[in-house]
């Protein structure tokens, strides 16, 4: 496992991070989830990402339990706030920032998180109010660093322009061979501002593993076949996209790596990406995905990948 610095912070994170969005919020049996976390540590993953809204606190509670016996300095823990936790609790107001950080810390059974992230931009709250509240959270020792997810370049620049507040060190966007919307504007703004990318869905909800075939039903044990986890994969399951993904298979075969490793190595080729978040349901997936760290793709291979993906890429 290789490690990268997270933006301008002093945090050093594994190139592969363990996520908990659809998996450890109830989508995976507890014993399997515990085994996935154990395997992550075994293969050198030190970065765990969650959010208060995942399972309405269930993912944080699970991680609080499973991480309780590990030394706190042995992992980097990230969580988020913004989405509704009740009919009245949502957004990035000063009140919500203070309320949600305390609730997350209680569920996670820790005194601090390493990274506290705004899960989305909140147009209902003045940006200055949000940044000042987050700054207090850092200065109180409840978070070491700050990040955001899916903000526009203008929103990022506006936050960076506010004087006297803590600066963001991370961005969490969707990014994969099939979804390149952050190129080049977001990456450019962030690279110039000491902000790294922590990318979600680098495998396009599992589609880039090649398990879904054009014209065929999803495998019964796959995310797409799961009632609790299959909601978000649908947009990638068109025959056109699945055919493009199958064109990637010979590239991976020639390199002697899995398609998942190819897809993860592709996002990690970008220097501004600090880590790629995986959503594993089985320990062997964690091990396979972690092995993508350190795989380097040459220019000819990157050109092949672009040619194979063709017009299905979202930009």
Joined together, the tokens standing for residue 277 give 């978040």
Residue 214 pLDDT level (bands cut at 50, 70, 90):
confident
Partners of 200 in beta bridges = 174
Select which of 54, 75, 121, 212 is catalytic. 54
Q: Look at residue 234 and tell me whether its pLDDT is greater than 90.
A: no
In angstroms, the Cα distances linking 58 to 9, 25, 51 are 28, 5, 10
**Helix, strand, coil % over all residues of the chain, rounded to 5:** 40, 15, 45
In the residue annotation, 54 being an active-site residue is answered as yes
Strand locations in 90-149 (E): 113-118, 143-148
> Across all residues in the chain, what is the average pLDDT?
94
Instruction: Quote the CA–CA distance of 307 and 304 in Å, as a whole number.
Output: 5
Average confidence (pLDDT) over 106-123: 98
Instruction: Quote the CA–CA distance of 138 and 146 in Å, as a whole number.
Output: 8
Q: Look at residue 188 and tell me whether its pLDDT is greater than 80.
A: yes
Q: What is the predicted pLDDT for the residue at 237?
A: 80
Q: What is the predicted pLDDT for the residue at 225?
A: 44
**Side-chain-side CA neighbours of residue 232 (13 Å):** 13
Q: Look at residue 223 and tell me whether its pLDDT is greater than 90.
A: no
* pTM for the whole structure: 0.93
Q: Look at residue 224 and tell me whether its pLDDT is greater than 60.
A: no
Looking at residue 209, what DSSP letter applies? G
Provide the number of structural domains found in the chain: 1
- Residue 250 belongs to domain with CATH number: 3.20.20.100
Q: What is the predicted pLDDT for the residue at 215?
A: 76
Range of the domain at 128: 3-312
In angstroms, the Cα distances linking 4 to 23, 39, 87, 294 are 25, 20, 39, 12
């Amino acid at each position: 496992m290789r490690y990268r610095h997270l933006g301008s912070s002093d945090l050093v994170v594994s190139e592969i991070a363990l996520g908990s969005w659809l998996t450890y919020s109830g989508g995976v049996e507890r014993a399997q989830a515990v085994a996935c976390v154990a395997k992550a540590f075994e293969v050198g993953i030190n970065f765990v990402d969650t959010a208060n809204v995942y399972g309405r606190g269930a993912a944080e509670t699970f991680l609080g339990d499973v991480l309780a016996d590990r030394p706190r300095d042995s992992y980097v823990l990230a969580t988020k706030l913004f989405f509704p936790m009740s009919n009245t609790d949502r957004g990035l107001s000063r009140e919500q920032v203070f309320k949600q950080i305390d609730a997350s810390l209680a569920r996670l059974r820790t005194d601090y998180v390493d990274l506290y992230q705004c899960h989305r931009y909140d147009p209902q709250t003045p940006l200055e109010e949000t940044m000042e509240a987050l700054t207090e959270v850092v200065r109180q020792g409840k978070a070491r660093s700050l990040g955001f997810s899916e903000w526009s370049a203008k929103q990022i620049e506006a936050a960076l322009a506010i004087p006297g507040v803590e600066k963001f060190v991370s961005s969490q966007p969707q990014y994969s061979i099939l979804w390149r919307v952050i190129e080049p504007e977001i990456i450019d703004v962030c690279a110039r501002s000491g902000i790294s990318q922590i990318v979600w869905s680098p495998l396009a909800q599992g589609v880039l593993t090649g398990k879904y075939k054009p014209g065929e039903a999803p495998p019964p044990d796959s995310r797409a076949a799961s009632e609790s986890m299959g909601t978000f994969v649908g947009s990638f399951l068109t025959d056109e996209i699945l055919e493009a993904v199958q064109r990637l298979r010979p590239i991976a075969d020639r390199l002697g790596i899995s398609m998942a490793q190819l897809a993860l190595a592709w996002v990690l080729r970008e220097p501004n990406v600090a880590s790629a978040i995986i959503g594993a349901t089985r320990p062997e997936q964690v091990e396979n995905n972690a092995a993508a760290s350190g795989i380097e793709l040459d220019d000819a291979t990157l050109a092949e990948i672009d040619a194979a993906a063709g017009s299905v890429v979202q930009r």
